[in-house]
């Protein structure tokens, strides 16, 4: 997955948890970058101490409201929609655990809401228009919890032409919910937009594409080819095939991603490992909170408000 992120040039598999200067030198890296949340070793030391001391550490702000914790919370909530008293109590408990109230929560693992901005989209977008000779390929879907199945599919689609320009049509949340039901999509349209834009095979995203690949859409984007993976294609509201128009034009192709992973599989894994995950998370948050409080105390001391 990381290899398919467009800002990544090289991967070091099985990198050590604590980044050492030796590691940086071995791979010819000038410095190491991490978000502004604390990561600690088992004995409570900052994992980046060595590179920090050597002046080879840079920090970036963590994106507010985007965290694994929050996504997992949403996945677990999804199973609480059954109409039983027990389920309702469980639902309330999870809201306490994963709710939007960040008071008393670690500022890093805790939850807050992600706000989409045009700046953010600009950072992620390619900004490129198709060039003459490009093959404009359209694919559509939910692309929820953007995963390796999606990447494999987009990579195969990318291989179909020498100069592909891939446009991903993302269905709005209500549209996805209509055919996926339950609590889907897990990621909202803003989050799905950025996940898909981060992929090196994607040139453009239609934010809120119609469920069917209509004549208007194909003409507007001058689409040469429409692709779908081997997953099931559900009919549109009126029972029609959403790919009827590209099929009529002879520009539809089914592409085998070679992966059978689905968004549901990921959700099922999370549900299965829920207890383990919750325990891990509580421990992680308690540790982060302790460090955060110590940092704040230190700041107050430096400011002379406390001894």
Kindly state the smallest distance separating residue 73's Cβ from ligand C5P, in Å.
21
How distant, in Å, are the alpha carbons of 42, 60, 253 from that of 45? 7, 20, 53
- Give dist(CA 215, CA 82) in Å, integer: 40
Question: Does residue 261 bind ligand C5P (CB under 6 A)?
Answer: yes
Dihedral, CA of residue 139, residue 143, residue 147 and residue 149, to nearest 10: -40
Nearest residue to ligand C5P, scored by beta-carbon proximity: 229
Kindly state the smallest distance separating residue 228's Cβ from ligand C5P, in Å.
4
Q: Angle, to 10 degrees, between the axis of helix 263-272 and the axis of helix 274-302?
A: 80
Kindly state the smallest distance separating residue 152's Cβ from ligand C5P, in Å.
6
Chain centroid, CA 242 distance in Å: 26
Specify the residue, 195 or 281, whose C-beta has the smaller distance to ligand C5P. 195
How distant, in Å, are the alpha carbons of 27, 32, 34, 49, 57 from that of 52? 18, 9, 11, 5, 5
Q: Which of residues 114-143 bind ligand C5P (CB under 6 A)?
A: 139, 141-143
Specify the residue, 165 or 184, whose C-beta has the smaller distance to ligand C5P. 184
Kindly state the smallest distance separating residue 45's Cβ from ligand C5P, in Å.
40
Question: Does residue 57 bind ligand C5P (CB under 6 A)?
Answer: no
Kindly state the smallest distance separating residue 149's Cβ from ligand C5P, in Å.
2
The residue range among 100-108, 210-218, 254-262, 267-275 that interacts with ligand C5P, by the rule CB under 6 A, is 254-262
Residue 193 φ/ψ region, left for φ over 0, alpha for ψ in the -120 to 50 degree band, beta for the rest: alpha
The residue range among 54-62, 71-79, 255-263, 280-288 that interacts with ligand C5P, by the rule CB under 6 A, is 255-263
Q: Is 231 helix (H, G, I), strand (E, B) or coil?
A: coil
Kindly state the smallest distance separating residue 132's Cβ from ligand C5P, in Å.
27
Question: Does residue 260 bind ligand C5P (CB under 6 A)?
Answer: yes
Q: Is 63 helix (H, G, I), strand (E, B) or coil?
A: coil
Among the listed residues 98, 124, 138, 153, the single contact to ligand C5P using CB under 6 A: 153
Kindly state the smallest distance separating residue 233's Cβ from ligand C5P, in Å.
8
Measuring CA to CA, which residue among 4, 267, 274 is closest to residue 142?
267
Specify the residue, 64 or 174, whose C-beta has the smaller distance to ligand C5P. 174
Specify the residue, 110 or 141, whose C-beta has the smaller distance to ligand C5P. 141
Specify the residue, 152 or 288, whose C-beta has the smaller distance to ligand C5P. 152
Kindly state the smallest distance separating residue 224's Cβ from ligand C5P, in Å.
17
Q: Is 32 helix (H, G, I), strand (E, B) or coil?
A: strand
Q: Which of residues 213-252 bind ligand C5P (CB under 6 A)?
A: 228-231
**At a CB cut-off of 8 Å and minimum separation 6, what does 113 contact?**
64, 65, 100
Question: Does residue 160 bind ligand C5P (CB under 6 A)?
Answer: no
The count of other CB atoms within 10 Å of the CB of residue 172 is: 18
How distant, in Å, are the alpha carbons of 63, 265, 273, 281 from that of 276? 26, 18, 6, 9
**Interface residue list for ligand C5P (CB under 6 A):** 139, 141-144, 149-150, 153, 228-231, 257, 259-262
């Amino acid at each position: 997955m990381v290899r398919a992120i467009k800002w990544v040039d090289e991967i070091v598999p099985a990198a050590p948890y604590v980044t050492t200067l030796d590691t940086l030198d071995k791979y010819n890296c000038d410095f190491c970058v991490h978000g502004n949340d604390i990561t600690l070793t088992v004995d409570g030391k900052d994992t980046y101490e060595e590179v920090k001391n050597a002046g080879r550490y840079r920090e970036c702000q963590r994106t507010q409201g985007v965290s694994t914790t929050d996504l997992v919370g949403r996945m677990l909530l999804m199973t609480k929609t059954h109409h039983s008293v027990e389920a309702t109590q469980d639902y309330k408990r999870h809201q306490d655990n994963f709710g939007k109230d960040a008071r008393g929560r670690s500022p890093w693992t805790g939850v807050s809401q992600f706000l989409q901005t045009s700046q953010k989209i600009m950072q992620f977008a390619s900004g490129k228009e198709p060039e003459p000779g490009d093959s404009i390929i359209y694919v559509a879907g939910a692309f929820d919890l953007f995963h390796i199945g999606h990447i494999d599919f987009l990579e195969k689609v990318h291989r179909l032409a020498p100069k592909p320009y891939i446009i991903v049509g993302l269905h709005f949340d209500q549209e996805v919910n209509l055919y996926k039901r339950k609590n889907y999509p897990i990621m909202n349209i803003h989050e799905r937009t950025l996940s898909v834009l981060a992929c090196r095979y994607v040139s453009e995203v239609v934010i809120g594409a119609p469920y069917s690949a209509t004549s208007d859409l194909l003409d507007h984007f001058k689409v040469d080819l429409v692709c779908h993976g081997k997953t099931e294609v559900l009919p549109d509201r009126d029972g029609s095939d959403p790919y009827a128009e590209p099929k009529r034009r002879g520009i539809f192709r089914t592409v085998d991603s070679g992966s059978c992973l689905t968004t549901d599989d990921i959700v099922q894994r999370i549900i299965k490992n829920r207890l383990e995950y919750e325990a891990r998370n509580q421990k992680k948050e308690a540790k982060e909170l302790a460090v955060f409080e110590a940092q704040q105390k230190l700041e107050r001391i430096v400011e002379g408000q406390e001894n």
